[in-house]
Amino acid sequence: MTRRLLFSATRTLLAGILFSAGILSAQLSDQQTRELFTEASQLFRQANESANLNPAESQDLYHRAVLRFERIVSEGGVRNGMLFYNIGNAYFRINDIGRAILNYRRAEQYIPGDPNLSQNLRSARESRQDTFEEGQSAQVIRMLLFWHYDFTPRFRSILFGFLSLVFWGLASLRFFRPAWAPTWSLALLGCLATLFFGSLAVEFTAQASQQAGVLVAPQVIARKGDGLSYEPAFTDPLHAGTEFVQLQARDDWRYIELPDGRQCWVPVDAAEMLAIATVLSPG
């Protein structure tokens, strides 16, 4: 009996070791990652060159480039802004607007304020079918807090650093030349620095707590409940590229809030979250 238990335990341990080895071997080496990136970049360039002469071949090349870029993310564990930017560009070229916006927004988390990324994300958003109008209260808030919405996080960080540096410089100077650093100037600088710090803190907290996502299915019927038996939530269906915040997940459904504040249920496989999954969809 003891020998049988020992044999079973040994076999289980060996199986676990072999399984773990299989998982580890599935990860890309640095050399494989570099080779995949080179191949993907070459395919992307070839697709650009053949876009006018042979559109069908160009589309195939873009698809092949995407598969290699996404392998770098899913199997190589690489996370950086330029990689997601390249994936977004490839999806945009094959007119997959949903996954283009998804990857541009993923890139935005790593390289916020990048001018090329901002321009391409804006172009992708202009290409989607669904449009949403902000409510009047949201418009008023956006106007009053213009520095939070109109300035990039990078620019706000620079301003916060500059204002803080000037504040502490004047505060130090006040010990020796009080007349050169009046109280009102310190109060003004302190308030401005606090405003920008608060803006950055609010954005960081929102990004950490909110589960943002993008619809990637060409057309989605939003429903009033988590099942096909529920009535459609809206007269018209939603389409790829629509951005949302996930409020709840239940089985195969997501409860989401749209940019205009409306809420509905959509199937899990109709959307992808900004948070990176273990394996990305091949598109």
For residue 172, pLDDT over 80 is answered with yes
Least confident of 22-31, 167-176, 211-220, 258-267: 22-31
Task: For CATH 1.25.40.10, list the domain ranges present in the chain.
Answer: 14-127
pLDDT at 198: 82
Q: Could you tell me the pLDDT band of residue 251, with boundaries at 50, 70 and 90?
A: confident
Least confident of 13-27, 202-216, 268-282: 13-27
Share of the chain above pLDDT 70, in %: 80
pLDDT at 281: 40
In sequence order, which residues have a C-beta less than 8 Å from that of residue 150 and are 6 or more positions away?
none
pLDDT at 5: 36
d(CA 251, CA 102): 22
In sequence order, which residues have a C-beta less than 8 Å from that of residue 266 and are 6 or more positions away?
215, 220, 222, 223, 238, 253, 254, 256
For residue 19, pLDDT over 70 is answered with no
pTM > 0.85: yes or no: no
Q: Which two tokens stand for residue 205?
A: 């907290």
Least confident of 4-8, 45-49, 110-114, 246-250: 4-8
pLDDT in tens, 201-245: 776 666 555 589 999 999 999 999 999 999 999 999 999 999 999
For residue 6, pLDDT over 80 is answered with no
Question: Residue 279, by phi and psi: left (phi above 0), alpha (psi -120 to 50) or beta?
Answer: beta
For residue 66, pLDDT over 90 is answered with yes
pLDDT at 13: 40
Residue 99: closest CA among 60, 127, 118:
127
pLDDT at 240: 97
d(CA 12, CA 39): 40
Which carries the bigger pLDDT value, residue 76 or residue 136?
76
Task: For CATH 2.30.30.40, list the domain ranges present in the chain.
Answer: 211-273
For residue 69, pLDDT over 70 is answered with yes
Please count the residues of the chain.
283
d(CA 82, CA 67): 16
Least confident of 25-39, 96-110, 130-144, 157-171: 130-144
CATH of domain 14-127: 1.25.40.10
For residue 247, pLDDT over 50 is answered with yes
Which carries the bigger pLDDT value, residue 173 or residue 102?
102
CATH of domain 211-273: 2.30.30.40
pLDDT in tens, 109-164: 889 889 999 999 999 999 999 988 766 666 666 676 766 666 777 778 888 888 88
